[in-house]
Amino acid sequence: MSCWQTVQDYALRSLGYGERLLPREGYTLCEHFTLIGSGMIWNVYFGAIALFAGFFLATVVALGKGARNPLIRKPSEWFIFIFRGSPLFIQFFFAYFLFLSLKSVSPFFDAFTSAWLGALIVLFLNTAAYSGEIFYGALRSIPKGDVEAADAYGFSGWRRFRKIVWPTMLRLAWPAYTNEAIFLFHSTTLVFFSGFPAWQQRGDALYYANYFADKTFNPFVPYPILAGYFILLTLVVIALFGLVNRRLNRHLPQEARRGLRLRLNVIR
C-alpha cells in the first residue's frame, strides 16, 4: 500500500472518517506519521478553543481577584486556587465521573461525558485559572503613571479599562501568557488518558503514539514523531503569539520593546 493511500485512509481517522480499522501489522513509518498527525487535530482543537474561551474568563477572574469587594474577590481567589492547586489529571477524572453521575439524572448531560465537550470544559476552566493569575499579576504591575495619565485625560470606568488598563495588562502579561498557551497545548495530551473514553478509537496524538508503542513494543519511533509534531506546534504558537506581542508593543521605542523571552518549565 502506497503512502498516499495511507494518508487518504488515515489522515482524518481521529475524526472518524476513512478506514475504520487501525493498522494491524507492518506499522510503516508512513502510518505512524499519518495517524499521529491525525490525532494532532484533537490537540489543536482542545487547545485552541479552550485558550480562546479561557482568555475572556481569565480577564474576568483577574479583575475579580483584584476587586475590593470580598464577595467578588473571594470566589475568584478560590477558583484560581482550586484549579491551580490540584493536578489537571485529577480534575479530568473528577469531571468525568461527575458528568457520568449527572448523566443518570438528566439526559441533557449525555454530551458532557464525551471528550469533545467534557474535557474541553475542564481545559477551559483550567486555563482560565492559570491565565487569570497571570493577568492578575500584570494588572498589579501596571505603571501608576499610566492610570494617573488616563485620569488626567478624563478617562473613566469602562473607557479607561478598555483603552488603558486592559492593553497594558495584556502587554505585560503576554510573555507569560505565551508560556501558558504552550503548556495548555501540551496538557491536552492528558485528555484520553484520564477517564474520557476514545470512542471508536478516535483519539489524540498521544493516544495513537501509545497505540503504536503498545503494538510494536518499540517506543523509539512513535514518541519521537509525537515530539516532532509538538515542537512544530510549539513553534507555530510562539510565532502567532509573537505577532500579537509585536502589535501590543508597537507604540514603544524600539529598544524598549521586549521580545518574547520564554521560560518553559511548568506542568500541571
In the complex, the residues that contact another protein under the rule CB under 8 A are: 25, 27, 81-82, 85-91, 93-94, 97-98, 100-101, 186-187, 189-190, 193, 206, 209-210, 213, 215-220, 223, 226-227, 230-231, 234, 263-268
CA distance 11 to 36: 9
Residue 180 identity (one-letter amino acid): E
What gap in Å lies between CA 155 and CA 167, rounded to an integer?
Answer: 14
Spatial contact of 205 and 226, defined as CB atoms under 8 Å apart: yes
Report, in Å, the least distance between residue 17 CB and another protein.
25
Query: Given the complex with another protein, which of 73 and 268 has the nearer CB atom?
Result: 268
Nearest approach in angstroms of CB 71 to another protein is 22
For the packed helices 29-66 and 205-216, what is the interaxial angle rounded to 10 degrees? 140
Least Å distance, CB 221 to another protein, is 10
Query: In terms of CB distance, is 21 or 267 closer to another protein?
Result: 267
Grid coordinates of 49: 478553543
Of 10 and 207, the one with the shorter C-beta distance to another protein is 207
Compute, in degrees rounded to 10, the torsion defined by CA atoms 63, 150, 242, 57: 20
Q: Compute the distance between CA of residue 90 and CA of residue 83 in angstroms, rounded to an integer.
A: 10
- Report, in Å, the least distance between residue 250 CB and another protein: 29
Contact 212, 32 (CB under 8 A): yes
**CB closer to another protein, 78 vs 153:** 78
Residue number with CB closer to another protein (6 or 189): 189
Shortest CB 42 distance to another protein, Å:
13
How many Cβ atoms from other residues are within 10 Å of residue 81's Cβ? 12
